[in-house]
Amino acid sequence: MMLLSVRNLTVEYHTDTGIYRAVEGLNFDLEQGKTLGLVGESGCGKTTAMMALMRLLPEAGRIISGSVILDGRDLLRMSLAELRETRWKDISMVFQGAMNALNPVRTVGSQIREAIRLHNSIPKGQTEKEIEKLLDYVGVAKSYKDRYPHQFSGGMRQRAMIAMALACQPKVLIADEPTTALDVMVQAQIMDLLSDLKSEFNFGIIIVTHDLGLIAEYCDKVLVMYGGRMVEYGDLNQIFHHTAHPYTQRLLQAFPDIENPKAELASRIGFHPRASTSIK
């Protein structure tokens, strides 16, 4: 059985100035232990689609149609009680920009503690051990538990966000632009961390990015969005060798070695600090 199947997902924003269709007819599948890259320029609807999956759209957002089948159950048709048992526990998300929105006057450990208390039902006496375990998973020394966000580097703050998202051992982890605010060396470390965690816990992961280089290096499947719609979807090699949509072709033109775009992209990420191609 497929871990996650999204069908015909359509989302609108209803605002004072009118109705805006941000996502239209999105379809994709995610298998356990696999990585899906969701790529597209800024404003194409990536975050909206992921927030709709989580049923965390802002006030103006409306899910017009679709289904989100996680482990055989439709998230979009769950009661709030069922949703409470599923969100964060079965499907979890690292929000875009969240690492820069940590509360500056509270220690990182206390913010992880809150995530555990809200979403997990472990006995209170075990919470401290749990925080240390989560920090260990993401490669942060446990002594940092009592430090404040400004004492963390950007990469460490993102690691802390990932720790929070892992608090309930989700089956699906969504990471929305997990490396956007980070420099290239740290980007690679965070992507390696996500990849290692995926191997260890065997969850399915969705990486949302506008960086095609990251997709080439880390993803099994690619979904390209343009203007709220899916314009390309398939295995990594298939997309790089047989692009159907002009938008994807334009993306790939940034990479000269078209015979071997994957290696070309990977080498760019590894060795050329400024060459990671952005399509923002």
166 burial level (CB within 10 Å; 0-12, 13-18, 19+)? buried
Under 8 Å between Cβ of 252 and 240 = yes
**Residues 10-29 interacting with ligand ADP (rule: CB under 6 A):** 13, 15, 20, 22
- Residue 20's binding partner out of ligand ADP, Mg ion, none, with CB under 5 to 8 Å set by partner kind: ligand ADP
Of 68, 63, 96, 80, nearest to 210 by C-alpha is: 96
**Residues 71-100 interacting with Mg ion (rule: CB under 5 A):** 96
Structure tokens at 213: 């280089």
Binding of ligand ADP at residue 45 (CB under 6 A)? yes
CA–CA–CA angle 19, 22, 25 (5° rounding) = 115
Binding of Mg ion at residue 47 (CB under 5 A)? yes
Q: Looking at 28-36, 38-46, 136-144, 190-198, which segment touches ligand ADP (CB under 6 A)?
A: 38-46
Cβ nearer to ligand ADP, comparing 156 with 222: 222
Cβ nearer to ligand ADP, comparing 149 with 213: 213
Q: Name residue, tokens 């503690």.
A: 113
Phi, psi of 144 (to 5 degrees): -75, -5
Alpha-carbon gap, residue 80 to 113, rounded angstroms: 24
**Residues 55-94 interacting with ligand ADP (rule: CB under 6 A):** 58, 60
Count residues contacting ligand ADP (CB under 6 A)?
14
Binding of ligand ADP at residue 180 (CB under 6 A)? no
- Residues in the site for ligand ADP, rule: CB under 6 A? 13, 15, 20, 22, 40, 42-48, 58, 60
